Chain A
Amino acid sequence: MSTTLWIIIAGAIATYLTRIGGHLVISRFENIHPRVEAGLNAVPAAVLTTLVAPAALSAGPAEWAALIVTALASLRGGLMAMFLAGTAVLILARQFVG
C-alpha cells in the first residue's frame, strides 16, 4: 500500500479517537461533579470562539463588517439569517475594499 494511503488511514483512526475519546473517559465516572459539568457546558462557546477570534483579528474591514452584521442579525434572526446576512455583507464589502 502506498504511503499516502497509510497517512489517510492513520489520520482517520487518530481523528476517530478524538471523537470517541472524551466520551470514553467521561463515561467512566458515575457522577459528574458540578464543576466538571459547568466546564462541559462551556465547551461549545469556548471552542467555537477560538475558531473566530484569531481569524477576525488578522482580517480586514470587509470581514469585520461581515462579523458585525452577523452579530446584529443574531438579535433578531436564526442561524441561517445570521449566516446569509454576514455572507452578503462580506461579498459586497470585498467588491469595494478587497
Chain B
Amino acid sequence: MAVEAISEGSAKSDFWDGVRLSMPVVVASAPFALLFGAIAVDNGFSVLEAFLMSALVFGGASQMVGIELFGQHVAPWLIVLSIFAVNFRHVLYSAGLGRRISHWPVIQQALGYFIMTDPQYAVAEARAASGKTVGFVWYLGLGLPVYVFWVIESALGAVFGKLIPDTHALGIDFLLPIYFLGLVLGFRTRPLWLPVVMASAVASIIAYKTVGSPWHVSIGAVAGMLLAVVLPPHHSGVGERP
C-alpha cells in the first residue's frame, strides 16, 4: 500500500513536472495554432479538415507549408513530399530520443514518437543530459498539453480566423525563433557546442540563400552533426559523459 501510494504520488509529481515545463511551449505555439487554423480556412480547408491536420500531423511548420502549397493548387504528392521534407529533422531527433526511451513498452514508445516535436525532444534530451530518467509519465506531462492546446487552438483559429488583431505588433511571427534560441543556449555546456552551432548557422544560412526553405533545416543540421562526427572523440567528450 505504502509503496504504491509513494509511486503513485511520484508519478503524479513527475506528470506535473512535465506539465510545468510544457507551459512555455504552449504559450509560444498558441499564436501559430491560431494562425494555422485561420490560414487553413483561408486556403480552402474546412474547419474539420484544419482540426484533423493538426490532430494527425501535429507539426506546425510543415502544416503551414502544406497549407500554403494547397492554396497554390500544387500537386498533392508534392504537398506530401514538402511536409515530409520539413519534418525530416525528426529522423535525427528520433535517433537521439531512442537512446532515452528504449526501456518503455512498445506502445508507449509509439505514442512517444507521435507527440515528439522540436521542444519535446530538446527538453527530454536536456533532462537525460542532467542525469535524470526520461519516464513515460513525465514525457506525457510535457507533451500532452502542447498537443491538446495545439489541436483546440487550430480549430479555434479556423472558426475565428479573421478576428486575430495586428499579429505583427504582438510579435507572434518571431516568437518561435526566440524560443528556439533559448533552447540552443540551454545546451551550451555540451562538448563541441560552439563549433556545432557555428557550423549549423553558417550552413543553414548558405542553404537558405541558395537551395531555399525548407531544405536549409536538414542541410544546416547535418553540417553541425558531421562536424561533431569528424572531430576526434576526445574533443566530443563522449567517453566522459554519464
Contacts and interface: CB of A to CB of B under 8 A. Distances in A.
B127 to A, nearest CB: 12
Contacts of B91: 18, 21-22, 25
A66 B220 contact: no
Contacts, number: 286
Interface stretch (B1-9, B132-140, B148-156, B201-209): B201-209
B217 interface: yes
B87 A14 contact: yes
B228 A42 contact: yes
B229 A15 contact: no
Question: Chain B interface mostly helix, strand, loop or mixed?
Answer: helix
Nearest to B92: A43
Interface stretch (B11-19, B157-165, B186-194): B186-194
Interface in A33-57: 34-57
A3 B107 CA distance: 31
Given A7-B66, A51-B180, A79-B21, 19 more contacts: A5-B52, A10-B76, A14-B81, A14-B83, A26-B99, A35-B233, A45-B193, A45-B197, A46-B196, A46-B224, A47-B200, A49-B220, A50-B201, A66-B174, A70-B178, A70-B185, A74-B185, A79-B182, A79-B183
- Name the 4 nearest CB pairs between A and B, nearest first: A46-B224, A22-B95, A22-B94, A50-B220
12 contacts: A11-B66, A18-B94, A46-B196, A52-B177, A53-B201, A53-B204, A57-B208, A63-B177, A70-B178, A86-B178, A87-B175, A94-B171
